[in-house]
Structure 1
Amino acid sequence: MEQNARILVVDDEERIRRLLRMYLEREKFIIEEAEDGEQALQLALDNDYDVILLDIMMPGMDGIEVCQRIREKKATPIIMLTAKGEEANRVQGFESGTDDYVVKPFSPREVVFRVKAILRRSSATAFLATPNSSHNVLVFPEVSIDHDAHRVLVSGEEVGLTPKEYELLYYLAKNPDRVFSREDLLKDVWHYEFFGDLRTVDTHIKRLREKLNKISPAAANMIATVWGIGYKLEVPK
């Protein structure tokens, strides 16, 4: 299923695009390239890619703006490539809608690992596909999740979520009122035994709440912070 996935590689440095293409094509992925933000945005909106590898620092339209504008139209999984390892830049990337990040200089094998992880999550639903699961629709006050259709309704209105936002919400909803630490969520939702940044969870929770809140503040408030521990989906009594 991972083979023949279409991946858009966006970087203004040709040597990086060439390196990533070489490693990704070894895995039988179909690779297309863009050398600047404008070209990347046009390709991303005109085509359906399985993953986009997007450099954050480019002349003209940078990766943050490209990601934001893609998110206005599509939920394509995006991995941000950045030479800036500071927390503020990573958080800015997540808040713009990216699903993951890799800090330069990176190991090409790590990039392949992250691409495969995103493909598993978005297509095979990984931890969600359990043999004993017979209920494909979860219904709560204000929120319903149709897992077969990967569709979330809030007060009857559909909410557009990225694959990672959907998985995070569904994971919490499958275990209502159970508290999960950030480490638990990184392991079970992101499948990170390593390479994890706990702020990743916080920024995705924030984006998820914001999207729910636009339709129903009550739905957003169901995602509760348990201070000093983590998060849970709190079902109104």
Structure 2
Amino acid sequence: MKHRLLLVDDDLSISEMVKSYLTKEGFDVSIACNGEDGVSMFMKEAFDLILIDIMMPKLDGIEAIKIIREKSSIPILIMSAKDSDIDKALGLGFGADDYIAKPFSLLELSARIKAAIRRATKYSNYEDCGESKNEITFGELRVDINNYSVFKGKQELKLTAKEFELLKLFITNQKRVFTKAQLYNLVWNDDYFGDENVINVHIRRLREKIEDDPSESKYIKTLWGIGYKWDGR
């Protein structure tokens, strides 16, 4: 499956050049021409990494990063002509994962993107769980990823395919906050058109099966106005 990248830069010539190169490298690249559009696209679609400039109209890169970081731990790589230590410190301080100065080597950019995605996959997928890659346990809840089975104590829970995919997504990305659009894109593999009822119903049914008290959810936390997050403590 291709990794999806969001490229946010007001210089269209650079964006097209970077997109052309990264597409040949096997990435699926979407372009936004300013920070405001970039944040809007991030809210509506699911991406694996964001490339972002600092100096942009409407909403600069630093403000865009701050907004994105309130909602997600997605890898963010700044690419900017501003190469001072202060600019780097600001970008990284507000949540960017890496910084590359313009003009840059496309080969180096691709290498940094691949490294950032590897790190994100490594640390979010299973290592946070402290368990084997096949089975993950939270209290009485035991999830066997390979066999698509879920147990609560000694009782096997009967989850639908979509309920299991939601559960798997949450428990393998425990530090990540998902918007409803991202959940729909990742689990249903389709574009999200604002039909919240589909997501709400599946989350409610999943909670009813895995939670002791679905009205006081212990595992799937709602972040009002943002989305959902797994809390396995």
TM-score of the aligned structures, taking structure 1 as reference length: 0.53
Distance 2:52 2:91 in 1: 10
Aligned to 2:67: 69
**Residue deviations 1:177-208 (CA, integer Å, cap 9, x gap):** xxxxxxxxxxxxxxxxxxxxxxxxxxxxxxxx
Aligned residue type for 1:75: S
Identity across the alignment (%): 36
1:85 CA drift (Å) = 1.1
Matches within 5 A, 1:7-22: 7-22=5-20
- Give 2:22's match in structure 1, choosing from 24, 35, 38: 24
Change (3 A) 1:150 1:34: closer
Distance 2:36 2:26 in 1: 27
Distance 1:134 1:77 in 2: 24
Aligned to 1:34: 32
Aligned residue type for 2:19: R
- Give 1:104's match in structure 2, choosing from 86, 102, 115: 102
Distance 2:21 2:93 in 1: 29
Aligned residues: 143
1:46 CA drift (Å) = 1.3
Cα RMSD for the two superposed structures: 3.0
Change (3 A) 1:150 1:83: same
Aligned to 1:4: 2
Gaps of 5+ in 1: 138-147, 153-158, 161-237
Aligned to 2:41: 43
Aligned to 1:119: 117
Aligned to 2:58: 60
